[in-house]
Amino acid sequence: MPVALYALTAGAFGIGVTEFVIMGLLLEVSTDLGVSIPAAGLLISGYALGVMVGAPVMTVLTGRWPRKTVLLALMVIFILGNAAGALAPSYAALMAARVLTSFAHGTFFGVGSVVATSLVAADKRASAIALMFTGLTVATILGVPFGTWLGHAYGWRATFWAVALIGAVALAVIALCVPRDEAPPAAGSWRHDVRVLMRPTVLLGLLTTVLGFGGMFAVFTYIAPMLTQLAGFSDAAVSPILLVFGGGLMLGNLLGGKLADWRLVPTMLGSLVALALVLGAMTFAVDDKILMVAFVGLLGAAAFATVPALQMWVLEKAQGAGQSLASSFNIGAFNLGNAAGAWLGGAVIDHGLGLAALPWVAALVPLAALIVALLALRLDRRPQRAISGACIPAGAAD
């Protein structure tokens, strides 16, 4: 893999840390800024909403720029947003800084996916996407625990300064390693990109992403109480077990990229089936400590095995000028899946089914994603049959 891909991985690492590290600092933030813990938790929701809104807006605004210039500009926004967060005098200012930072997230991964696929041969494109997303998984395994420790030891503002420093390093690496490129042709307007986005197969691909990731987050959002209340682990054991989940994320992501390069559609469909099976089987493991640890790792692997295939599939459906916008929307779809999954899990608990029912209910969601993907594939084949029937004379195929 070219060095430029590792530059994209560095940027993905910084963005991953800034998205998730706030989860471990809610108590410190709430105490320092004089707000409740639930209010501090809204800093996570605000970031997620900023990703969904910022991804299409920033992609459209920068659509005619060279992609390297876009990536550098996004990292500058990322650095400024984290510096503003470190200096925030109030809760409102911190929320604004988080939303500003989130505007870099979706477009970075969206445009970065397009850049990554352009740096390698056609049979390595999904692996290139997986390598970039490895920065996100490493952020989950190493960056977030370190950022949480730093915030506990030196205050939450120190973590924001550290993440801004990571952004500065990523900015320098991208500037040095990512090759220059030309601006997209002026003929491709944002209206054309939107028309590409509105293709039924692209929309169904985005819905597949929402449903695929929604199933995972219906369980993962509530994994801590499942581990302590159902499996009987202590609170102190949760963090080490989550490292197993992070390891599964990394392995599943890299394996999913390799398999998607080999056979894209079977990998996409197979990864959704695997995720549904893992979630369904997890139902029978929730009260066993050893099995629960194993299934936490399998959940991470199965969930992130879908990522390179889903991202690559949407890129193929949006072939041409609309790739950056479709790719950015797909990153927003992952975040929408996060939010929808968390809501679904909460609804299952609130309506009396309880924590033990989360895995089997969540398993239905990737099965729904599988149905949507099969529908998209059926729609995708219809024009091809129509064209071949119109253009190939009778008997020519013989």
Q: What are the pLDDT tens digits along the chain (398 aa)?
A: 677 888 888 888 888 888 878 877 777 888 888 888 767 777 877 887 888 888 778 877 877 788 888 899 999 999 999 999 999 999 999 999 999 998 888 788 888 888 888 888 877 888 888 888 888 778 877 777 788 788 888 989 999 999 999 899 989 988 988 888 766 655 455 666 677 667 777 788 888 888 888 888 888 878 778 888 888 888 777 778 878 888 888 888 888 888 888 888 888 899 899 999 999 999 998 888 899 999 989 998 998 888 888 878 777 776 655 666 777 777 778 778 877 887 888 888 877 788 888 899 999 999 999 998 888 888 777 654 443 343 334 343 33
Angle at 253 between CA 251 and CA 256, to 5 degrees: 105
Residues 6 or more apart from 189 whose CB is under 8 A from it? none
CA pair distance 49, 160, nearest whole angstrom: 20
Same topology between domain 1-179 and domain 190-382: yes
CA pair distance 249, 134, nearest whole angstrom: 9
CA pair distance 337, 396, nearest whole angstrom: 47
CA pair distance 167, 173, nearest whole angstrom: 10
Q: Where are the domains of the chain?
A: 1-179, 190-382
Angle at 180 between CA 179 and CA 185, to 5 degrees: 130
CA pair distance 127, 1, nearest whole angstrom: 9
Q: Please give the DSSP secondary-structure letter assigned to residue 36.
A: -
Token pair of 380, please? 């995708």
| pTM (2 d.p.) | 0.73
CA distance readout (Å), 134 to 205, 320, 352: 22, 26, 38
Name the CATH superfamily for 1-179.
MFS general substrate transporter like domains (1.20.1250.20)
Count the Cβ atoms, other than its own, within 10 Å of residue 113.
Answer: 28
For the chain, the first-to-last Cα distance in angstroms comes to 43
CA pair distance 90, 86, nearest whole angstrom: 11
231-236-237-243 Cα dihedral, nearest 10 degrees: 130
CA pair distance 328, 108, nearest whole angstrom: 8
Q: How many helices (H) and strands (E) does the chain have?
A: 16, 0
What is 190-382's CATH topology? Growth Hormone; Chain: A; (1.20.1250)
